Amino acid sequence: MSEETRSEIRGKVIRLGDLIAYQDGTVASRMIVNKPSGSITLFSFDEDEGLSEHTAPYDAVVTILDGECEVWVAGETHLMQEGETIIFPANVPHALSAITRFKMSLVMIRE
């Protein structure tokens, strides 16, 4: 999403899940805020898609907007569904996998 397109949603009431569509067989993403201090990115995952284990240098706040997924944080497994949030601590291994199609928001806070 370009800065011009992002500005079109500022000051408006929106449903985050409506800003990203599912795409068959893949993961789609759409950044809606991108600032030096952090970003907000929306993701949609088709069934059986996911993100392999990785780390990030910043805390990440993930909120499930639709569907169900499984997340792993530092070796612990969590089943998540719409309306639930988890914080991935900086530099801690984490991953996720779709149980059903699901959408999420990812808020990255940079230090």
Q: For 103, left (φ over 0), alpha (ψ -120 to 50), or beta?
A: beta
pLDDT digits (tens, 9 = 90+) for 5-46: 677 888 899 999 999 999 999 999 999 999 999 999 999 999
pLDDT digits (tens, 9 = 90+) for 1-13: 555 567 788 889 9
pLDDT for 111 equals: 73
**Strands 27-35 and 85-88, sheet pairing:** unpaired
- Domains of the chain, by residue range, sit at 3-109
Angle made by CA atoms 76, 30, 59, in degrees to the nearest 5: 35
Q: What is the mean pLDDT of residues 68-96?
A: 96
Query: Which two tokens mark 73?
Result: 């944080």
Tell me, yes or no, if the pTM score tops 0.75.
yes
pLDDT for 3 equals: 55
**CA pseudo-torsion sign 61, 73, 31, 14:** negative
Other C-beta atoms lying within 10 Å of the C-beta of residue 5:
10
CATH 1.10.600.10 fits 3-109, yes or no: no
| 110 has a pLDDT exceeding 70 | yes
